[in-house]
Amino acid sequence: MNKTVLKRRALLFIIMVGIALTLGTFFVYSSLKAMEYSFSQVEIESKFQKHVITIILSSFLGFIAFSLSKYIIRGKYIINFVFLVIFTLLVTALTQTPINGTRRWITFAGFQLQPSEFMKLFLPLYLSWYYYKIGNKKKYFAYGIIIPLIITGVSVALIFLEPDLSTSLLIFILAILTIYINGVKNIHFYLTIFLLIALGMFIILNTDILHGYQKDRLEQFKSIENNYQLSQSLDAITNGGLFGSGTFVGEEKYTVPYSYSDFIIAVIGEEWGKLGIIMIITLYFLISRELILISRYIKNSAGRNYMIIFAFWIFFQSFINIGVSVGLLPTTGVTLPLMSYGNSSLMITLVSIGYIMGMIYYEIIDENNIEKNNIEEMEKVERVDEV
């Protein structure tokens, strides 16, 4: 594929991300207006302002990630420092005053930050960087499996203790996928999966690991009548019909709890109809597809593998969010990427996109940097030959 086509693909990717952000902003505003019976007008305007400020701030941080992308993977100080910061935030979150029975958030300058959202997309990047640095050592079980599992296990355990079952499971799945695509030995990987499944079954059968609200969600999933959120979400989507009631129009969305975050698809379904939901699913599919197609031309294995993981995540999480809203999955509290209200989720998503665009630019588009990278690779080969 020539460079012109790649530039067009990268531009198409950015345009689709922009479309998702723009649509999300409209739907968040419509959802917040529908919460007028729960929030005061001041609270509604405040939340919407925070949402817009988060987009602007996150875009700026994404530009910084874009600029530093060529140094992040090749160095060791920046990425280790960021990991320690996020890890410290996870520990700090456990010391905070509980909100709705959980310790997931840290309040800073009037904004609520959820460190687990940062770890969700940073851990795959950190593991990809780790495999890039150790090189062929990944063929050994200790380097390829044990160390990454320890890093993953400690991070997931902190999130599970908040408690946040859905996020900890999602991060664990992303970590396992990262380990697999980074080329560890198949025998090591499949043996690990077998042992993890056996351990998981033992824990589930012999311990009372789930919290009360998590058990309630599973019970509510079995009966729509007992699940108020899901019942109201389905009513809103049904009321929208095939083509929807119209933007900022609809009645059922006023009764959907947290419609601006976890159940924003209910608002989309009522205003844009089932065709609107199909359009949103298609948009996420195209965003993921473009990333995977572009990743094939990234020479740096860490950057390439992270792009694949990000593409999987954005489609998988959107599937979970929509699945919850239409009753296919139990209620989880997982947001719709780029569209739902959520400071931490938006921030890490846009920063990750900035980093990815930096990898695309410096690895594919910037001719001076490409030539420099080629020289560095040749020097590495020469040093190996000398040895």
CA of 227: how far to CAs of 55, 264, 277, in Å? 32, 17, 22
* CA neighbor of 309 nearest in space, from 135, 170, 185, 133: 170
pLDDT in tens, 346-377: 999 999 999 999 998 888 777 565 555 554 54
Distance CA 384, CA 387 (A): 5
pLDDT in tens, 180-212: 999 899 999 999 999 999 998 888 777 777 766
Q: Which is it for the CA torsion 310, 314, 316, 320, positive or negative?
A: positive
What is the DSSP secondary-structure string of 279-301?
A: HHHHHHHHHHHHHHHHHTT---H
pLDDT at 382 over 60: no
Distance CA 240, CA 193 (A): 43
The model's pTM? 0.89
pLDDT in tens, 239-298: 999 999 998 888 888 888 888 988 999 999 999 999 999 999 999 999 999 999 999 888
Distance CA 340, CA 30 (A): 12
Instruction: State the average pLDDT for the chain.
Output: 87
Q: Which is it for the CA torsion 337, 11, 287, 1, positive or negative?
A: negative
CB 35 within 8 A of CB 256: no
pLDDT at 341 over 90: yes
How far does Cα 380 stand from its chain's mean position?
35
Strand partners, 112: 107
Neighbours of 344 (CB within 10 A): 23
pLDDT in tens, 264-279: 999 999 999 999 999 9
Name the band, by pLDDT with cuts 50, 70 and 90, for residue 380. Answer: very low
DSSP H helices, the chain, are 3-33, 41-72, 77-93, 115-134, 141, 147-160, 165-181, 186-206, 212-222, 228-240, 264-295, 301-325, 343-360, 367-386
Percent of the chain residues topping a pLDDT of 90? 59
Map residue 241 onto helix, strand or coil: coil
Distance CA 53, CA 118 (A): 18
Element (H, E) at 112: strand 111-113
pLDDT at 117 over 70: yes
pLDDT in tens, 311-329: 999 999 999 999 999 988 8
